[in-house]
């Protein structure tokens, strides 16, 4: 896997660039959409929860934005990963390219988009809140999520071409996860369902982001290690399947 990625590194970089450019060029507002998208989604939740249901916690907008932005990164890895190989269909039927290259490109594209949004969000947050020393842990959490997202992307890229029906399940699954990961609500350690809820690695991750950014507390390092391990296992499994069926994917993608 690492050998293939190294060998095709230049192709990967050029493809990432190509994808980013064509994505931003297509719309008039270009790169601004990266930012507008989570903000618009936040506005919807804000309207529902603050104006209609009168539920308001402290720093609700920031709370929401963190959840939405981090969740979107994950969701795009899963959904775009699933189609990454079939989208390269014509190419892989004509030229041999290691299949692990395509989900890797997808992951990198979304990571860069995420990075752009995060840096803009960071400006917003540092205006609204007082920076705390715990913010230094942010790169560690982002790295953890990267490992997790990469694993999810590789695995969905590896499996979905065999069972295209899964893409239906994925869209329902991500919606369920959106509700189950605490994107727009908080579950406190005192709640009885807390431990069950936190079995979801995504919920764990979102909690860590909020711990360090909103509450100025250090993250639970154990949880981060736990989530990275899950991610690592998924990366290995995904890469294994992709490599094993390397010559089979061109037959099942049209």
Partner 1 sequence: MTTASTDKHSAPPTRHHRGDVLLVVRNAAVIYNQNRSIFRRSKFEALSDVSFDLCAGESLGVIGRNGAGKSTLLRLLAGVIKPDRGTVVKQEGVTASLLVLQAGFSQELSGRENVYLSGLALGYSKDRIDQEIEKIIDFSGIRSHIDVPVRTYSTGMRARLGFSIIHKLQTDILLLDEVLGVGDRDFKKKTTAIMKEKIKSEQTVVLVSHQASMIQELCNRALWIENGVAIMEGPTEDVIKKYEK
Q: Write down the least CB distance from residue 100 to partner 1, Å.
A: 13
Looking at beta carbons only, is 15 or 62 nearer to partner 1?
A: 15
Helices (H), the chain: 2-7, 9-26, 32-46, 60-87, 89-94, 101-128, 138-159, 166-180, 194-197, 201-214, 221-244, 249-252
Show Cβ contacts of residue 104 under 8 Å, excluding neighbours closer than 6 positions. 5, 12, 150, 154
Q: Write down the least CB distance from residue 22 to partner 1, Å.
A: 3
Q: Write down the least CB distance from residue 208 to partner 1, Å.
A: 37
Show Cβ contacts of residue 233 under 8 Å, excluding neighbours closer than 6 positions. 151
Looking at beta carbons only, is 151 or 250 nearer to partner 1?
A: 250
Q: Write down the least CB distance from residue 166 to partner 1, Å.
A: 12
The alpha carbon of 207 is separated from its chain's Cα centroid by a whole number of angstroms, namely 15
Looking at beta carbons only, is 95 or 199 nearer to partner 1?
A: 95
Looking at beta carbons only, is 13 or 196 nearer to partner 1?
A: 13
Looking at beta carbons only, is 24 or 200 nearer to partner 1?
A: 24
DSSP conformation class of 132: -
Residues that bind partner 1 (CB under 8 A): 7-8, 10-11, 14-15, 17-19, 21-22, 25-26, 91-98, 164, 247-248, 250-252
């Amino acid at each position: 896997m690492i050998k293939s990625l190294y060998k095709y590194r230049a192709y990967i970089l050029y493809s990432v660039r190509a994808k980013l450019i064509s994505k931003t060029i297509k719309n008039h507002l270009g790169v601004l959409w990266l930012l507008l998208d989570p903000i618009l989604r936040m506005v919807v939740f804000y309207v529902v929860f603050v104006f209609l249901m009168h539920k308001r916690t402290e720093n609700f907008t920031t709370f929401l934005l963190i959840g939405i932005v981090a969740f979107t990164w994950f969701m795009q890895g899963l959904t775009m990963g699933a189609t990454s190989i079939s989208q390269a269909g014509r190419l892989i039927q004509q030229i041999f390219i290691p299949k692990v290259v395509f989900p890797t490109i997808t992951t990198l594209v979304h990571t860069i988009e995420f990075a752009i949004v995060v840096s803009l969000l960071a400006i917003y947050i540092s205006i609204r809140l007082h920076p705390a020393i715990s913010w230094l842990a942010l790169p560690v959490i982002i790295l953890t999520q990267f490992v997790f997202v990469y694993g999810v992307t590789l695995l969905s890229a590896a499996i979905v071409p065999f069972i295209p029906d899964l893409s239906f399940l994925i869209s329902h699954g991500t919606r369920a996860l959106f509700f189950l990961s605490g994107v727009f609500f908080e579950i406190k350690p005192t709640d009885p369902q807390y431990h069950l809820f936190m079995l979801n690695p995504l919920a764990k991750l979102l909690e860590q982001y909020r711990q360090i950014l909103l509450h100025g507390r250090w993250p639970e390092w154990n949880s981060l290690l736990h989530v990275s391990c899950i991610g690592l296992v998924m990366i290995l499994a995904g890469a294994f399947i992709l490599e094993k069926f390397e010559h089979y994917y061109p037959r099942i993608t049209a």
